[in-house]
Amino acid sequence: MLTNEQRIVETRLSEITEVCDDSATYLSKMPAGCRNLLDEVYPGIFVGDRHAAQKTEFLKRLGITHILNAAEGTRARTVNTGKDYYTSSNIEYLGLELLDNESEVISEYLHPAIQFICKALDQGKVLVHCEMGISRSSTFVIAYLMWKEKMNLIEAVKKVREKRDVRPNSGFLKQLVLLEMNLNKLGGCLV
């Protein structure tokens, strides 16, 4: 038998999965074969893929001052850049070694990632990226919008999806549901 909290989580996951699975509308607006390296999904916040993260001159022209790599590492499906990669570009860097799988505990990295995004927005613009710019990176941007911009989970997902076809994996979505529940309990503010 499910607890009340488990029922709430399951219901919310079902609602958010519907939003994330509605790619047909988003994709129908894009020209055939079009796939952006990065998209500005909220003022000053870009979500992108590994290729965007490796184009330092392009990032400088866009005014990117900070990079959050949500897929740091040398394993498959990670992006092997790092602090030294951006030294000559004067881009501040935060790397998180996360895999895109449902069992990955991304919630323990939310607070430092959100603080980094806040700092970046105070000083310029931020690229939040992972390998493809779909799951890990979008999870952090959605969490930022929930925490700092006081959006609920569905509003935050829809806001990001207005600009980029993102789909956090089901494990990340569950952790975002739990974040939303905690924010609601604490009146929108986590320490």
* Active site amino acids: 130
Query: Both tokens of residue 87?
Result: 């030294």
**Strands ordered across the beta sheet of 38-42:** 38-42, 45-48, 125-129, 64-69, 92-95
Q: How far apart are CA 27 and CA 142, in angstroms?
A: 20
Q: How many CB atoms lie within 10 A of CB 38?
A: 24
Q: Is 138 exposed, middle or buried (0-12, 13-18, 19+ CB in 10 A)?
A: buried
Q: How far apart are CA 79 and CA 56, in angstroms?
A: 14
| CB within 8 Å of 43: residues ≥ 6 apart | none
Q: How far apart (Å, rounded) are the C-alpha atoms in residues 149 and 20?
A: 20
Cβ–Cβ under 8 Å, residues 54 and 114: no
The two tokens of residue 165 are 């076809």
